[in-house]
Structure 1
Amino acid sequence: MDMVTVLMCTFIVLFGMSTVDQAKFEELRNSLATGFGVTESEFADTADGIVVEPEKVDEEGESLTDLELAQAELDDLVTLREKIKSNLDAQGLGGAVQFEIGERGLTVRLVSTETFFESNSDTLSASVVTVLDAVAPPLAEVEYHISVEGHADYREPSGPFPTNWELSSGRSVQVLRHLVEQCALPAERVASVGFGSAQPLTAGATPDELALNRRVDVVALSDQPESVRSLLPELAAKQ
């Protein structure tokens, strides 16, 4: 009887080993990998064996949804916008820029009834220098990467710029240089790009409309995943 009992137990163990639940095995493997430090993570969902990125975890260790992450990102962008507006208002320049919060982040659009850029020129006017001096300090305090994007109106330039690509690029570079060299914005977080006349704000041809298209956009770029950033426009519109 002892021999029969031992044989029965042996066959039960062999049967149990032959029917491994693959899903449970994967969860166990992931949890063990996290526990032994193979996968670096500040937090881990030990119930499901899922490694959770630190920025997606709240103070209590619970995973955040995309909507919650988007709302937190929107709050940060709104705070940045209000700081810039406060600086501009203090200089009497409250209407000198336009703000837009979208999927890319916060856009500070340098447009005004005053001309920031003369036709066929990338020279910074006195008014745009004053605006940049007010915009730069809040940007320097945050960790967003900054894209400085130059634009031109549809008219083809004359020398020294062969096309609007060179003209718009020249404008963005001049703004970037002022932000970095005069306003101490960290150079490793700033880049410039020229769009030529490909992205006008208006299709009109009046002097005011042409001046509107001669602009530079300073964009604080969100580093959230696309699934989070895609929620920003709707949340911003509701707010």
Structure 2
Amino acid sequence: MPRKKKEECKKMPGWLISFGDLMSLLLTFFILLFSMGTISLEKFHMVIKGLTESLGGRRVFLEQKLLNQSNVPLEFPEMYPKIKRRKMLTKALNDIQQKLNKAGIEADIIQHGSIVRFRINTDKFFPVGGATPYPEAIPYIFDLCKRLKEVGFNVVIEGHTDNTPVRGGRFRSNLELSAERALSILKMFLQCGYPEDLLAARGYGPYRPIAPNDTPKNRAKNRRVEFVIDAS
């Protein structure tokens, strides 16, 4: 019997032919949609007008001569005000952080999304077991208040301590001490004119440490005041 010749190339799978036809039909369909569609320049400019004004841009007056042009001049002097305020906030905190660090006061900036924490060590802000700031620390507090008042975000002032028991004085626990320190700073913010409805004070005592209370260095890290700024 004669031997069958081997096929040089394999046949194309049947599904591939159907897939190619489907892609061709879809391409034809979208070309027809594009050719049949018309863009109304007037409606397009009206959409741009609404978006511009809703995002803080200047009011756009669409005159007939503008509708005949391909470009409509738009101005956005107040565009994205929150982004500008956040940049101002970042600059203010960086400036104050540098001042504090030069004075030997440890300060850090921690950001989680729209929440910014400005953390200040309290060893040079408050006496041991006391809630009244040192006289030399008061200018830094007022400076921080003035800079934050320019951006006008909500601020929660948090007081934190280490786990060393309070001995003597008028406070019975670290929780009371931390709350009174936060409240003392809040009162100073009110004196410098910060809006009352944007302020709050909380005391956490030793219950939210950022380091283990096992060494003097770590306990010093936990003695702090945090300014929690909601920049959303």
Question: TM-score when scaled to structure 1?
Answer: 0.56
Aligned residues: 161
Alpha-carbon displacement from aligned partner over 1:65-117 (angstroms, at most 9, x marks no partner): xxxxxx985664343121232255467448642111113522111127x5333
State the partner residue of 2:152. 143
- In the alignment, is residue 168 of structure 1 matched against residue 178 of structure 2? yes
Alignment of 1:121-132 (within 5 A): 121-132=130-141
- Structure 1 residue 218, shift from structure 2 partner: 0.9
Give the letter for the 1:143 counterpart. G
Shift of the 103–198 alpha-carbon distance from structure 1 to 2, 3 Å rule, reads: farther
1:201 to 182, 188, 210: 210
- What amino acid sits opposite 1:147 in the alignment? V
Match of 1:133 in 2: 142
Q: Secondary structure at the match of 2:110?
A: strand
Larger Rg: 2
Correspondence list, 1:15-164, <5 A: 54=54, 57=55, 59=57, 76-87=85-96, 89=98, 92-93=102-103, 96-103=106-113, 105-111=115-121, 115-158=124-167, 159-164=169-174
Q: Deviations over 1:122-141 (max 9, x none)?
A: 12123432321321111111
Q: Are 1:218 and 2:227 matched, yes or no?
A: yes
**Counterpart-to-counterpart distance in 2, 1:201 and 1:133:** 26
Which one-letter code corresponds to 1:161 in the other structure?
F
Q: What does the per-residue CA deviation read over 1:14-57, in whole Å, with 9 as the maximum and x for residues that have no partner?
A: xxxxxxxxxxxxxxxxxxxxxxxxxxxx968xxxxxxxxx5xx4
Stretches of structure 2 that go unaligned for 5 or more consecutive residues are 1-48, 60-79
Change in CA separation of 1:187 and 1:202 when aligned onto 2, cut-off 3 Å = same
Q: What is the deviation of 1:210?
A: 2.0
Q: Is the 8 A contact 2:162 2:213 kept in 1?
A: no
Q: For structure 1, list consecutive stretches of 5 or more residues without a partner in the other structure.
A: 1-41, 45-53, 62-70, 224-239
Alignment partner, residue 187 of structure 1: 196
Q: Aligned to 1:139, what secondary structure does the other structure show?
A: helix
Distance 1:216 1:74, change over 3 A: farther
| TM-fit CA distance, 1:172 | 0.3
- The amino acid of 1:84's aligned partner reads L
CA deviation after TM superposition for structure 1 residue 58, in Å:
6.9
Q: Which amino acid aligns with 2:108?
A: Q
Residue type of the partner of 2:161?
A: A
Q: Given that residues 151 and 197 in structure 1 are in contact (C-alpha distance below 8 angstroms), is that contact kept between their aligned partners in structure 2?
A: yes
Judged with a 3 Å threshold, the aligned counterparts in structure 2 of structure 1 residues 149 and 87 are, in CA distance, closer, same or farther, namely: closer
CA contact (8 A) 1:148 1:193 kept: yes
Determine the structure 1 residue equivalent to 2:29. none
Percent identity between matched residues is 22
TM-score, structure 2 as length reference: 0.57
Contact 1:81 1:99 in 2 (8 A): no
Kept in 2: contact 1:88–1:131 (CA 8 A): no
The Cα shift of 1:171 comes to 0.8
Aligned-residue RMSD, C-alpha: 3.3
